[in-house]
Chain A
Amino acid sequence: MNTSNRTTSFFLFFLVICFIILSTSITTTKAAPIPKKSKDDDNDNNKQSLISANIGAVGPLDVGASATINSDNDVNTSGGVLLVLLVGFNSHNVQAKSATGERVLVLLDDEADKALYSQFFKTLEDRKYTFSYKTASDPKVDLLAFNERAFDHVINFAPKTKNYDNKVNPAAFIDFVNRGGNILLAASSGLSETIRDFAREFDIEFDDRDTSVIDHFNYDVSDSDGKHTLLVLDDKKGGFTNNSMILSQETLEGPPILYKGIGHKIGTVPLLTRVAWITSNTAYSYETKEDQIADQDPFILGSDISLVSALQARNNARVTFVGSLELFQDSSLNSPVQKINSKESHPKSGNQAFVDDLTKWTFQEKGVLKVTARRHHLEGEEEPLETYRIKDNIVYSIEISEYTNEKWQPFNGTDVQLEVIMLDPYIRRTLTPLEIQPQNHHNSRIFESHLQLPDVYGVFTFKVNYKRPGYSYIIDMTTVAVRPFRHNEYPRFILAAYPYYAGAASMSVGFLVFSTVWIFNKDRSATKEDKKNN
């Protein structure tokens, strides 16, 4: 199957090459001739994309092919046509907009629930994700296949399923995250203990079963049952994260968001980011049964109530917790919004934009960084050395690109720092971002620093440890040895030591002079005494 596919691709490749050569020779008379160099580039690109297409055809486990195709910025028209042809031919090779992969597992309480989220799944399908819809209790569901991740992302819309009769349990989800998989989890008031346990692993504590976030002053006009749980989140400045990677500016400026569900409290894990929370003091989290006796204090009140929280693990896997399933439902996405006692009304809620932002961030479409190159060399030279000398002047540079809008682009940060470490950091320096050079084929920006190595010898590490909320983490380490001066590298004479040199030299000269004088000295009195003695 693979072999035939490859043969077909090569055949097609030769056909198109012939076609290009033919059309060039025909069109030379009509249009300006294509410069030879650009044609060569073109062919290179074609070969590269063909190779990646073949890798892609091997099976669904391929992840890396997307980068190869997307990184070809300078493909010109005919190359583009060829690319489309090839991609269209190999139906396996559909590229999602995510930087890490397109395979999504959707877990539902009931297969029929899928219809509730049709618009949400449609937008994801438009972004070229491939879905496997399963009920959470399906015994055949497994996140792994042959000890590899079988999916790149998991959407867990099954908060009510208590017993997973399969290998999918909190431990399996943790393992999935440890292997770099992303999870979008939506909860509801009927949250099972299984999900609660999973959330605890991330320092998130959902309120008790059957509780909802209630606010008798900030609910939507359509909430007519008197429970006031359909909240209008319109405090876009206070109640949402200002991290532009997670929530875009348009979402923050857009219409309010409808929320109906459970609240949670977040712990102190620094990897956690609150995405949306309550800002009004009148909100509380409580059970909403009829004839409810309010005999206990609420678990969380006011601004302690988190609604949406996100975590990026140390391996850059992203996990997003949303306390509301309704947030994703068609009814909320298309619903008009009008807060009670407010004249301001919007024909459509901001949920669609909010949900888009959440999925884009969670599924690694935004804020993904990678290091494409790093260099170090002596000032004025090009080649890196394994061993530098103490106090050498060196240049360190690192190239970083960012995945945005479906392609790798130069990263625009200004606060990337370099540490020169031997147990402790000896130097910590903010790297200077350089202008983008057109001949840079990595689609990245160079961050550079000119520095003098410390006056200490040993094994040093050049470490770039860049961790910013919303962005994937960069830890890049290069180890070099730093040696002391060789015996002939010290200064021969030191200015401050000239008095000592003079002192030592005067001793030598003095000794010579004294010896000479002593030898030729005739002491009359001594001679007389000698004569007497003798």
Chain B
Amino acid sequence: MSSIKPVIDKLLKSYNKETPQNLKLIDAYLAFILVSGILQFVYVLLAGTYPYNAFLAGFISTVGQFVLAVNDKCVYESSIIQYKIAGLRIQANSKNAGEFKTISPERY
């Protein structure tokens, strides 16, 4: 336990210092989505699956939001066009700037 604490401290310190403010904003939003999804999942375990459609709608909306906000880079290839779809957090990260040269500056 004592060996983990300095690791966490270092992680937090490093996060506070080196992570840009806009990425922290996204992380806060992600945390909110995560809590909302977990609460709904706990509720369905306790209350049962009766309005199952409602559960699916609520839960999948959190999953969707989360994925779009954080998603890893994925590439869809077809014979005509090559799409690059990636989550906001990955695009906004300045360390990935080389990957997304076509992105407009408004996203920063």
Interface residues, chain A, with chain B CB atoms under 8 Å away: 494, 496-497, 499-504, 506-507, 510-511, 514, 517-518, 521, 523-526, 529-530, 533
Interface centre among A494, A501, A526 (most CB of B within 10 A): A526
Interface centre among B26, B32, B105 (most CB of A within 10 A): B32
Q: Which residues of B contact A500 (CB under 8 A)?
A: 40, 43, 51, 54-55, 57-59
Contact A523 B58 (CB under 8 A): no
Interface centre among A502, A514, A525 (most CB of B within 10 A): A514
20 pairs from A and B in contact (CB 8 Å cutoff): A494-B50, A494-B54, A496-B51, A497-B50, A497-B54, A499-B39, A499-B58, A500-B43, A500-B54, A500-B59, A502-B58, A503-B37, A503-B58, A507-B33, A507-B65, A518-B22, A521-B25, A523-B20, A525-B20, A530-B108
Contact A530 B105 (CB under 8 A): yes
Of all chain B residues, the one with the shortest Cβ separation from A533 is B97
Q: Which residues of A contact B50 (CB under 8 A)?
A: 494, 496-497
Interface size class of B (residues with CB under 8 A): 20 to 34
Contact A523 B108 (CB under 8 A): yes
Which chain B residues in 13-43 approach chain A with CB under 8 Å? 20-22, 25-26, 29, 32-33, 36-37, 39-40, 43
Of all chain B residues, the one with the shortest Cβ separation from A530 is B108
Which chain B residues in 80-106 approach chain A with CB under 8 Å? 94, 97, 105
A500 and B53 alpha carbons, distance in the complex (Å): 10
B89 to chain A, nearest CB (A): 11
Contact A507 B36 (CB under 8 A): yes
Contact A504 B94 (CB under 8 A): no
Give the secondary structure class of B's interface.
Answer: helix
**Cβ-closest 4 pairs across A and B:** A500-B58, A497-B54, A503-B58, A497-B51
B55 to chain A, nearest CB (A): 5
Contacts A523-B20, A530-B108; A499 near B40 (Cβ below 8 A): yes
Contact A523 B21 (CB under 8 A): yes
A501 and B51 alpha carbons, distance in the complex (Å): 11
Contacts A503-B59, A504-B61, A510-B29; A526 near B43 (Cβ below 8 A): no
Q: Which residues of B contact A501 (CB under 8 A)?
A: 54, 58
Contact B54 A507 (CB under 8 A): no
Of all chain A residues, the one with the shortest Cβ separation from B97 is A533
Q: Which residues of B contact A521 (CB under 8 A)?
A: 21-22, 25
B20 to chain A, nearest CB (A): 5
A507 and B68 alpha carbons, distance in the complex (Å): 12
Contact B105 A499 (CB under 8 A): no
Q: Which residues of A contact B21 (CB under 8 A)?
A: 521, 523-526
Of all chain A residues, the one with the shortest Cβ separation from B22 is A523
Contact A503 B61 (CB under 8 A): yes
Interface centre among A500, A510, A514, A523 (most CB of B within 10 A): A500
